[in-house]
């Protein structure tokens, strides 16, 4: 009984401890400004600015474009502060370096990207289509849920460091509504998507454009019109063959992504079976994605057989565990 009381007291104390890490401080400030700033006096605004400054000083490095876990809260705070500019002068001064950096990043994304990719896949089993452009370590693009169509695009901005890509999702009103964090390895972009409610979901996408970019340029100059019909016919045959190879490579990449997804699904399945209930949400998310995978037209018999073998693996494991 005494032990139970002590545990309750400890738990109660832990719940009352206020988070002081920079992200938590900035998120809380953003919420406070959004809800209560109309009733704040100058002292309250000054106090908020001091808390913001202390939070930013507490960072291990200056604000830069790699710290996307801070970006959503900072942008929300910046917009709220601008809406109350007269009262928020001190806070805006603290935020100015960040605002200047954001403007510079937007300017750097002008012009054609160094590289672009077209991705197809899903978030928690929900099919999506995505396009990304890369300007050095800066990334910009958009995506949409297939059920909503391309007229319902969400905007993406972020960074790429080696294979790791972090992207902020914004709606048509400029409000941050999600965050992608994952790795682009060969033709597969996979990782975790965090929605506006803080729920973490797995995503798997396949680069459909990488292989297509390998098709030779079919444009030609005026001199090329002098080629005889035989050469034109040969060129057409070669282009058809290359397109066929490209399609096969893209389908292989899709199957690779499916296999990677099944491997993670089985790993999560094993964790849950061993009593790790912290992995249950991940298990359900992966389960939805695996079961939503469709064998579309265009797969070769070898690719279709491989998909059947991969599918049988997780079904066999489920059977061994007696279902979950």
Any idea what the CATH number is for the domain that residue 149 is in?
2.40.128.120
Q: What is the pLDDT of residue 17?
A: 45
Helix axes 42-57, 22-36, angle to 10 degrees: 160
Give 182-230 pLDDT, tens digit per residue: 888 877 888 889 888 888 888 888 876 544 443 333 333 334 434 444 5
| Candidate ranges 15-29, 234-248, 251-265, 290-304; pick with highest mean pLDDT | 251-265
Are residue 122 and residue 30 in the same domain, yes or no? Answer: no
Are residue 227 and residue 175 in the same domain, yes or no? Answer: yes
Q: Which long-range contacts (CB under 8 A, 24 or more apart) does 130-134 make?
A: 130/156, 130/205, 132/156, 132/165, 132/167, 134/160
Are residue 224 and residue 130 in the same domain, yes or no? Answer: yes
CB within 8 Å of 218: residues ≥ 6 apart: 239
Domain boundary among 59, 78, 108: 108
The answer to whether residue 14 is domain-embedded is no
Which structural domain, as residue segments, surrounds residue 76? 19-108
Domain boundary among 108, 142, 172: 108
Are residue 80 and residue 126 in the same domain, yes or no? Answer: no
Q: What is the pLDDT of residue 112?
A: 83
CA neighbours closer than 13 Å in the CB half-sphere of residue 157: 19
The answer to whether residue 1 is domain-embedded is no
Are residue 156 and residue 237 in the same domain, yes or no? Answer: yes
Q: CA 305, CA 225: separation in Å to the nearest integer? A: 45
CB within 8 Å of 219: residues ≥ 6 apart: none
Q: What is the pLDDT of residue 132?
A: 93
pLDDT-above-90 percentage for the chain: 11
The answer to whether residue 33 is domain-embedded is yes
Q: Which helix (H) or strand (E) holds 175?
A: none
Q: Does residue 61 register a pLDDT over 60?
A: no
Are residue 65 and residue 139 in the same domain, yes or no? Answer: no
Are residue 144 and residue 228 in the same domain, yes or no? Answer: yes
Q: What is the pLDDT of residue 7?
A: 46
Mean pLDDT, to the nearest integer, of 229-257? Answer: 56
The answer to whether residue 11 is domain-embedded is no
The answer to whether residue 4 is domain-embedded is no
The answer to whether 33 and 130 are in contact (CB under 8 A) is: no
CB within 8 Å of 161: residues ≥ 6 apart: 66, 137
Q: What is the pLDDT of residue 250?
A: 66
The answer to whether residue 2 is domain-embedded is no
Q: Which helix (H) or strand (E) holds 153?
A: none
Q: Does residue 255 register a pLDDT over 50?
A: yes
Mean pLDDT, to the nearest integer, of 32-56? Answer: 86
Q: What is the pLDDT of residue 316?
A: 92
Q: And the tokens for 120?
A: 């197809």
Mean pLDDT of the chain: 76
Are residue 30 and residue 88 in the same domain, yes or no? Answer: yes
Q: What is the pLDDT of residue 71?
A: 66
The answer to whether 87 and 45 are in contact (CB under 8 A) is: yes
Are residue 170 and residue 67 in the same domain, yes or no? Answer: no
Could you tell me which residue, 149 or 111, shows the higher pLDDT? 149
Q: CA 97, CA 56: separation in Å to the nearest integer? A: 11
Q: And the tokens for 263?
A: 């491997």
Q: Which of 54-68, 148-162, 293-307 has the lowest mean pLDDT?
A: 54-68
Are residue 120 and residue 73 in the same domain, yes or no? Answer: no
Q: How many domains does the chain have?
A: 2
Structure confidence at residue 154 as a pLDDT band (50, 70, 90): very high
Q: Which of 204, 206, 178, 194 is nearest to 281 (CA)?
A: 194
Give 259-302 pLDDT, tens digit per residue: 888 988 899 899 999 999 888 888 888 888 788 776 666 778 88
The answer to whether residue 8 is domain-embedded is no
DSSP β-bridge partners for residue 130: 119, 143
Q: What is the pLDDT of residue 76?
A: 75
Domain boundary among 71, 93, 108: 108
Q: DSSP letter string over 159-196?
A: EEETTEEEEEEE-TTS-EEEEEEEEEETTEEEEEEEET
Give 117-150 pLDDT, tens digit per residue: 888 888 988 888 899 999 888 889 999 998 888 8
Q: Which helix (H) or strand (E) holds 222?
A: none
The answer to whether residue 85 is domain-embedded is yes
Q: Which of 7-16, 91-100, 169-178, 180-189 has the lowest mean pLDDT?
A: 7-16
Are residue 277 and residue 137 in the same domain, yes or no? Answer: yes
Q: Does residue 47 register a pLDDT over 50?
A: yes
Are residue 188 and residue 311 in the same domain, yes or no? Answer: yes
Pairing of the two strands 200-207 and 126-135:
unpaired
pTM beyond cutoff 0.85: no
């Amino acid at each position: 009984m005494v032990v139970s009381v002590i545990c309750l007291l400890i738990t109660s104390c832990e719940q009352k401890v206020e988070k002081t890490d920079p992200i938590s401080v900035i998120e809380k400030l953003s919420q406070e400004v959004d809800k209560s700033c109309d009733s704040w006096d100058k002292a309250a605004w000054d106090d908020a600015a001091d808390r913001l400054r202390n939070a930013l000083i507490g960072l291990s490095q200056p604000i830069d474009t790699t710290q996307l876990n801070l970006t959503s809260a900072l942008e929300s705070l910046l917009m709220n502060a601008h809406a109350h500019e007269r009262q928020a002068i001190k806070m805006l001064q603290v935020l100015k370096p960040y605002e200047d950096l954001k403007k510079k990043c937007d300017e750097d994304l002008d012009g054609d990207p160094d590289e672009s990719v077209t991705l197809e896949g899903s978030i928690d089993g929900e099919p999506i289509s995505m396009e990304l452009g890369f300007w050095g370590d800066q990334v910009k693009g958009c995506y949409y849920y297939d059920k909503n169509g391309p007229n319902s695009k969400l905007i993406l901005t972020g960074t790429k460091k080696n294979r790791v890509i972090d992207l902020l999702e914004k709606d048509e009103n400029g409000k941050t509504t999600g965050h992608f964090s994952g790795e682009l390895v060969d033709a597969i972009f996979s990782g975790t998507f965090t929605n506006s409610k803080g729920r973490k979901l797995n995503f798997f996408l396949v680069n459909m454009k990488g292989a297509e970019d390998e098709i030779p340029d079919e444009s030609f100059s005026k001199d090329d019109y002098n080629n005889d019909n035989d050469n034109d016919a040969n060129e057409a045959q070669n282009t058809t063959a290359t397109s066929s190879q490209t399609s096969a490579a893209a389908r292989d990449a899709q199957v690779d992504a499916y296999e990677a997804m099944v491997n993670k699904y089985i790993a999560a399945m094993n964790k849950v079976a061993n009593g790790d209930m912290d992995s249950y949400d991940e298990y359900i998310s992966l389960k939805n994605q695996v079961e939503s995978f469709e064998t579309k037209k265009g797969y070769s018999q070898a690719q279709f057989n491989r998909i059947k073998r991969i599918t049988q693996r997780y079904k066999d494991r489920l059977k061994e565990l007696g279902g979950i």
